[in-house]
Amino acid sequence: MEKFLIKGPTPKGVMGSINCSGAKNAALPLMAASILFEGTVVLKNLPLVNDVNTMIVLLEALGSKIELFKKKRVIKITNIKKHKLIVPYRLISTMRSGVLLMGSLLGKYNKCSSAMSGGCSLGVRAINFHIDGFKKLNCQYSLNKGYINLEAKNGLTGNRYKFPIVTVTGTSNLIMASVLAKGVTVLSNVSIEPEVIDLIKFLKTGGAKISFIGKRVIKINGVKKLNGCNHKIIGDRIEAFSYLCAGAITRGKIKVNKVNPKYLNTELKILKKIGCKLKIKKSSILLNAKSKLKPTKIKTGVWPSFATDNMPMLLAVLTKIKGKSEITETIFSNRFMASPELERMGASINLKNNKAKILGTEKLIGAECIASDLRTTFSLILGAMAAEKESYIARVFHGKRGYSNLVKNLKSIGVNIKSIS
């Protein structure tokens, strides 16, 4: 099994620039939504990561025709026949976003069966809110042998539904299920993450009638069909923040390109607060962390709050800032999976319930670590590049689910890293 060998510390800090990929968390819902369209959908700025590859296999298995142009980072998805309506376990078990196929298949065909999806081990990520929303649209539900069975025998019908909590995939699923439904659907307490807004923009380009009638309230007038269209995927804000943290933890200087800084407003304020100097332009961010950095307190939350996906990277940075820092996690129960591995490097992290108290140290020592999920992988890479001596990180396939050209990009900014078996 592949491992990363990283020799630290990175001398003089990381230096250079990174061109961010298209956002994985935007690409996957867009690809799932392609099922709703007639003809061909063209998605540009596609991230070449393993989760996207898995979604390609899923779509092909269901009946979509796929043309992938890797050099141009473009994918063409054509619907020329009726899709299969069963999403098999063997394909969905490794990726949480496979659950989004329920919304698109149900929206297009009023029926589907899907195995429960997999992905990162971040604790309970219940889909009961998705199911409750589908029921409101005149859909019947049953669970049999690990498969969720959904059917609207008389067709989906618009209705009102308020999410008990804000959910990104839940919002995306209900939007997809509603765009071709009869009548009007009003969804309240929806997610307004940039990736959800990108999905709405994509659907509207194809002819969907979606409008905000409140800050977290969406009105959807059902249409008869969506027409094929072209769409450019937004830049990956999580990837951008990950590399900015590489600059912060090594006291380096790094620039990330092809990302909208507005999607990282809260995170950039935190980086400034701890002492990083930033130069922000329309689609790039330059970070200089040569000054002394200060500890801080943060709390994760739904956008525009600090993103839970970005928390593990900041956790690593704070272990190297002298003083007491504190992180409160409000989204996922197991988001602190990086903590025990960072402690193997000498970090001081006290966990209690959903809160981490970090006593920063000037010195980390390389160690053997195991990555348990996508963002933990990058968190451990950050710790290793700032630590003295060698670190070995196992189960790095998690990282390749969401970071394109990971080793190549890290080498380009001065990290001593290589992939070993």
Do 215 and 255 lie in one domain? The reply is: no
pLDDT at 121 over 70: no
Residues 82 and 185 occupy one common structural domain: yes
pLDDT category at 93 given cuts 50, 70, 90 is: confident
- Domain match, 286 and 227 both: no
Q: What domain count does the chain have?
A: 2
Please spell the DSSP secondary structure of 306-365, one letter per residue: B-GGGHHHHHHHHTTSSEEEEEE--S-TTTTTTHHHHHHTT-EEEEETTEEEEEE-S--B
User: Taking residues 255-265, what's their average pLDDT?
Assistant: 98
**Domain ends where: 206, 232, 258?**
232
CATH of the domain at 406: 3.65.10.10
| Per-residue confidence (pLDDT) for residue 115, from 0 to 100 | 86
Contact assessment for residue 70 and residue 76, using Cβ atoms and an 8 Å cutoff: no
State residue 333's pLDDT score.
79
Same domain, 243 and 219: no
- Supply the residues annotated as catalytic: 120
Structure tokens at 361: 């140290």
Dist. CA 407–CA 101, nearest whole Å: 31
Summarize pLDDT for 343-396 with one digit per residue, the tens. Answer: 999 999 999 989 999 999 989 999 999 999 999 999 999 999 999 999 999 999
Q: What is the DSSP code (8-state) at residue 81?
A: S
Q: Which of 205, 232, 259 is the last residue of a domain?
A: 232
Mark which of 169, 201, 232 sits at the end of a domain.
Answer: 232
11/36 same-domain check: no
- The set of residues, in sequence order, having a beta carbon less than 8 Å from that of 71 and lying 6+ positions away, is none
**pLDDT above 90: residue 124:** no
CA 395 to CA 4: how far, in whole Å? Answer: 9
Q: Are residue 32 and residue 111 in the same domain, yes or no?
A: yes
Q: Write down the pLDDT at residue 123.
A: 41
Mark whether 227 and 239 lie in a shared domain.
Answer: no
Decide the pairing of beta strands 184-188 and 160-162: parallel
Backbone angles phi, psi at 126, to 5 degrees: -65, 145
pLDDT of residue 91: 79
In this structure, what DSSP letter does residue 146 have? T
3-state helix, strand, coil in the chain (%, to 5): 35, 30, 35
Which helix (H) or strand (E) is 177 found in, with range? helix 168-178
Residue 181: DSSP 8-state: S
State which residues form the domain around 383: 3-20+235-420
| Residues 344, 326: Cα–Cα separation, whole Å | 19
Is residue 49 packed enough to be buried (19+ CB in 10 Å), middle (13-18) or exposed (0-12)?
Answer: buried
Over residues 288-302, mean pLDDT: 95
Tell me if 293 sits within 8 A of 248, measured CB to CB.
yes
Structure tokens at 47: 């991230």
Pick 332 or 185 by higher pLDDT: 185
Per-residue pLDDT for 12 more than 90? no
Same domain for 291 and 202: no
Same domain for 240 and 130: no
Coil vs helix vs strand at 112: strand
Question: Where are the extended beta strands (E) located within 164-295?
Answer: 184-188, 209-214, 217-221, 226-227, 230-232, 253-257, 277-280, 284-288
pLDDT given for residue 421 in this prediction: 85
Crossing angle (nearest 10°) for helices 374-386 and 237-249: 20
CA 236 to mean position of chain CA atoms: 8
Of residues 117 and 414, the one with the higher pLDDT is 414
Question: What distance in Å separates the CA atoms of residue 248 and residue 286, rounded to the nearest whole number?
Answer: 11
Task: Tell whether 40 and 67 lie within a shared domain.
Answer: yes
Confidence of residue 332 (pLDDT cuts 50, 70, 90): confident
Q: What is the pLDDT of residues 38-71, one digit of tens each?
A: 999 999 999 999 999 999 999 999 999 999 999 9
> How far is residue 340 from each of residues 6, 294, 312, measured CA to CA in Å?
18, 23, 12
Token reading at 306: 């600090």
Is a pLDDT exceeding 70 seen at residue 218? yes
> Which residues make beta-bridge pairs with 219?
186, 211
**Do 244 and 211 share a structural domain?**
no
In a shared domain, residues 328 and 260: yes
Check residue 92 and give its pLDDT. Answer: 81
∠ CA 313-378-369, rounded to 5°: 110
Query: Which pLDDT score is estimated for 70?
Result: 96
C-alpha to C-alpha distance for 40 and 227, rounded to whole angstroms: 8
Q: Tell me what the mean pLDDT of segment 300-316 comes to.
A: 97
pLDDT for 145: 87
What is the average pLDDT score of the chain? 94
By the 10 Å C-beta count (0-12 exposed, 13-18 middle, 19+ buried), 351 is classed as middle
**47: three-class secondary structure by DSSP:** coil
